[in-house]
Amino acid sequence: MSAQLQAAETPPAHPLAGATLSGADVVVQVLADEGVEVIFGYSGGAILPVYDAVFRYNREHARPDAREPMPLIVPANEQGAGFMAQGYARASGKVGVALVTSGPGATNTVTPVRDAMADSIPLVVICGQVPTTALGSDAFQEAPVGNVMGACAKHVFLVTDASKLEATLRTAFDIARSGRPGPVVVDIPKDVQNAQLEFDGASRLPIHGYRARLRAVEHSHLDGETCAAFFGALKQAKRPLIYAGGGVIAAGAAVALRAFADAFGLPVTTTLMGLGGVDTTGPLALHMLGMHGTAYANYAVEDCDFLFAVGARFDDRVAGVAAKFAPRARFIAHIDIDPAEIDKVKSVQWRHVGALVPALDRLTAYGRAHGVLPPLADWHAHLAALKREHAMDYDRASDLIQPQAVIEAINRRAQGRAIVSTGVGQHQMWAAQYFDFRAPRQWLTSGSMGTMGFGLPAAIGAQFARPDALVIDIDGDGSIRMNIGELETVTTYGLPIKVVVLNNGGDGMVRQWQKLYFGQRFSATDKSLHKKDFVRAAQADGFEWAKRLTDKAAIEATIADFLAFDGPAFLEVMIDPDAGVYPMVGPGASYAQMITGDFIRARSAPAALDATPHMF
């Protein structure tokens, strides 16, 4: 018994402990130990030793079916690798890994690293670097990765002491996935990759400050008094509402959130990043709130008297005018794992810094034990009426193909089970509004950074995370151009991804703003005369199924054929170039001033448009 206990307390030594490995082999071994099952990256001079080590690892550890245990997926551009790693991380919840060379290889990944930081996505990006003796000498393919990435990432390590390489890599994974997740960059000079090192199999960097703060947050407990304050306010409330953000997805708290909401009959609206945190088809699910949220969600925010923000941060696309956000809420409660988000934008009456799952479980248990069951029948009826009277809608009578109809047709077949990635702009918002999401990690979108070109590489990464899932990239003609080189990556690896380009002949979202706020001066957003033939481009990159949809009557049959194709498929849809994204809470406007467009009923006449082009 005691021997067993002791064995449990001391983890067995790593089988390679004490062995001499090159730095490059140390890198690959730590990746393997961390459970990395795919690497996205592009080779180059300064990372050659690690690429060689991956090659040897895969040859020596080939599976019985000859599959490689850690395949290297090669993009057209390192930005693609970074977004593939993100797509993998977002779809799986595991840390995504990108492996790139020094200089341009590293700087091409700056955008996905910053994007991952902004959306709290765990990544480890390993960059080759010029040898330590050449650092700062303006050497070939040298870039100041520490400085550049330090401003964008959760953390960056420059490994100048080879003896710390192993501990640094393991620590990079710790940092990426712990607390509020984020990207960690490890910059490894070539001589460190070539150094002969003694592998120990367990070392980590102390990083005392970070680990102490993390422990405090992870072990913070909701005491009875705090729970009582929460439920005291909830019992007073007649119109409570949960506002759930991407933290619910990151924390794996969807089950806990659903249990909590169900226990007390609380309606839920989610942010763009929180879609899938609750089943969007549920009766008390209000879909997305915010600048392009559903009218009924935004009206519910206007009407609520108790707001509970869960893993959300009142960002400017939700609370553009913080003082007018949820104006009737007498009590706002906020849970987040990041202390810096509490009271940052909106000061709240109740706060808890900690992990979401234990906090929500504790609240559910406390409320149940104290027999809390707020009588919310009137509120539920009010919300049902809002959903009915202010339902999403669009120009169904038009002869032109409406983008919303295309997404509805795809959604009827996907039934809320597909993994959907997007670029950024109008198509992204239509996809967010018109798709159902039944589970977390089905919705992959660049929320905070708003990076055009995200959709295609993210879909590729997601397909590696979920080989059996239906993965659909809903893209725009502007966004897909940004990383169109990755079309070839889809066919190179034979991925059955379905790529949809909603083509409105330009940058539709910017055009919409130019229409509303810049006197219809469409500066540099009209691409209707551009020469690109997307279908031929897809065919040239090896898409056997590549078609253009121009006839409204053919939507259903074409979508059915497209989704049924067993392999990569590409569908360009020529949509109404004047289709707009509504509802819209304009910049500097409150939810009460929301414009609902011509097809969604507004609750009251919106205030006259205030032309404020300086707002973003």
DSSP letter for each residue of 539-588: HHTT-SEEEEE--GGGHHHHHHHHHH-SS-EEEEEE--TT----SB--TT
For residue 542, state whether it binds other proteins (rule: CB under 8 A): no
Applying CB under 8 A, which of residues 146, 265, 542, 577 lies at the interface with other proteins? 146
Candidates 77-85, 152-160, 251-259, 494-502 — which segment interacts with other proteins by CB under 8 A? 152-160
Query: Would you call 509 a catalytic residue per the annotation?
Result: yes
H or E segment to which residue 486 belongs: helix 486-492
Query: Would you call 570 a catalytic residue per the annotation?
Result: no
Query: Would you call 190 a catalytic residue per the annotation?
Result: yes
User: Burial code of 374-393, b = ≥16 C-beta within 10 A, e = fewer?
Assistant: bebeebeebbeebbeebebe
**500 - beta bridge partners?**
474, 571
Residue 173 Cβ vs other proteins, minimum distance, rounded to whole Å: 13
Per-position x/- string for 307-346, each x denoting binding to other proteins as judged by CB under 8 A, each - no binding: -------------------------------xxx--xx--
Interatomic CA distance for residues 128 and 105, integer angstroms: 9
**How many helical (H) and strand (E) elements, i.e. helices and strands, does the chain have?**
24, 20
Say which of 86, 94, 157, 190 is annotated catalytic: 190
Q: Please choose, from the candidates 28, 11, 7, 58, the residue with its C-alpha nearest in 3D space to the C-alpha of residue 199.
A: 28
204-223 residues near other proteins, rule: CB under 8 A? 207-210, 213
Per-position x/- string for 340-379, each x denoting binding to other proteins as judged by CB under 8 A, each - no binding: x--xx-----------------------------------
With helix as H, strand as E and coil as C, how does 376-443 read?
CHHHHHHHHHHHHHCCCCCCCCCCCCCHHHHHHHHHHHHCCCCEEEECCCHHHHHHHHHCCCCCCCCE
For residue 156, state whether it binds other proteins (rule: CB under 8 A): yes
Query: Would you call 68 a catalytic residue per the annotation?
Result: no
39 CB-near residues (< 8 Å, 6+ apart): 31, 54, 70, 71, 72, 73, 97, 98, 99
Residue 580 Cβ vs other proteins, minimum distance, rounded to whole Å: 34
For residue 113, state whether it binds other proteins (rule: CB under 8 A): no
Contact 156, 149 (CB under 8 A): yes
Select 135 or 384, whichever has its Cβ closest to other proteins: 135
For residue 158, state whether it binds other proteins (rule: CB under 8 A): yes
533 CB-near residues (< 8 Å, 6+ apart): none
Query: Would you call 78 a catalytic residue per the annotation?
Result: yes
Number of chain positions touching other proteins (CB under 8 A): 20
159-198 residues near other proteins, rule: CB under 8 A? 160, 175
Say which of 149, 482, 509, 594 is annotated catalytic: 509
Select 338 or 395, whichever has its Cβ closest to other proteins: 338
Say which of 29, 34, 40, 78 is annotated catalytic: 78
Per-position x/- string for 519-538, each x denoting binding to other proteins as judged by CB under 8 A, each - no binding: --------------------
Residues that bind other proteins (CB under 8 A): 146-147, 150-151, 154-156, 158, 160, 175, 207-210, 213, 338-340, 343-344
Active site residues: 78, 140-141, 190, 509
